[in-house]
Amino acid sequence: MNYTVYEFFTKDEIERDWLVSILTDFDFDGYEETNDSLKGFVPVGKVDDAKVKGILNDNEFSHIGFTSYQLENKNWNEEWEKNFEPVVIADKVAIRAPFHQPISAEFEIIIEPKMSFGTGHHATTASMISLMLTEDIAGKTVLDFGSGTGVLAILAEKLKALSVTAIDNEEWAYNNCIENIERNHCVTIEAIRGDDTFVFNKKFDLVLANINRNVILKNLAYWKRLLQADGVLIVSGILLNDENDIINCAAGCRLKVKDKLKNNGWLAISFQHT
């Protein structure tokens, strides 16, 4: 896949976090921070300069300048391998790539993300994992909505979930999830390519959604309907400034805050079905 790079010139960390949250809704699926800018990676043809300028204007970021260029063709998996380091979360969950040495941890997950989001390095994924570790998942049914690499679904199986469903609307994420399921010798995970129009024939004890503010607000009522009585929903990808919007919307869906975790400007929340 060929990519266009948009480089946004801002040193403000809050502005960068907002940009990530917004651009993800417009098919941007990778980011890189420099000292002076945020680089966003988007498949060629998905947006153009006029579209990006409109996105900035609509979100009161017209003061942020940007440039764009097409990424040269190279082996990006090889480039990623040069820079990716293993990560250990909450002293319990180790996430590494296949080319790393094994890590002694209670739960070890092997992930090759390719273009999928979810290696545990970003605060949103790390917070999801930390909140999952506070739940008794053994014997429960789990839905990972927007599964990306499948890292949360894989952890759910390792936490002895009865069954796990991992769903993502992107073909490359769906394929990557299947590869990582096989790589970790998982047997209870069903990977599905679909979105919030997919009809499930069962309810879940736990729903996981590591996405972004807009998708969360759009789908809270939908996820509530998928929960068993007393089920739990864990969401992340929320900027701290959006906390009240998410909690108020959840309250309207009769979802009660159970726990919250702040990490590097981001927020993860677990909700209880009421």
The residue whose two tokens read 């420099």 is: 34
**Measured between alpha carbons, how far is 100 from 76 in angstroms, rounded to an integer?**
18
pLDDT at 133: 98
Model confidence pLDDT, tens digit, residues 70-87? 876 655 555 555 566 888
Q: Which of 94, 97, 90, 88 is nearest to 107 (CA)?
A: 94
* Candidate from 37-51, 82-96, 147-161, 190-204 with smallest mean pLDDT: 82-96
CB 95 within 8 A of CB 87: yes
Q: What are 152-199's pLDDT values in tens digits?
A: 999 999 999 999 999 998 888 899 899 999 999 999 999 999 988 999
How confident is the model at residue 116, as a pLDDT? 53
Residue 79 token pair: 């480039």
Residue 198 CA: distances (Å) to CA of 112, 122, 192, 255, 273: 27, 28, 9, 22, 21
To the nearest whole percent, how much of the chain has pLDDT over 70? Answer: 92
User: Can you give the pLDDT at residue 27?
Assistant: 84
**Among residues 40, 20, 29, which one has the least CA distance to residue 114?**
29
pLDDT, tens digit, 9 for 90 and up, residues 230-265: 999 999 988 888 899 999 999 999 999 999 999 888
Strands 65-70 and 3-9, how do they pair?
antiparallel
Whether the CB-CB separation of 235 and 247 falls below 8 Å is answered with no
Show the tokens assigned to 150.
Answer: 């499948």
Q: Tokens standing for 130?
A: 């930390």
CB 175 within 8 A of CB 93: no
What confidence category does residue 147 fall into, taking pLDDT thresholds of 50, 70 and 90? very high
Q: For the chain, which domains are there? A: 3-70 (3.30.70.240), 118-273 (3.40.50.150)
- Compute the CA torsion angle 125, 128, 134, 138 (nearest 10 deg): -90
Q: Could you give the strand order of the β-sheet that contains 107-110, starting from the edge strand earlier in sequence?
A: 87-89, 93-96, 107-110
Lowest mean pLDDT, pick from 18-27, 59-68, 238-247:
18-27
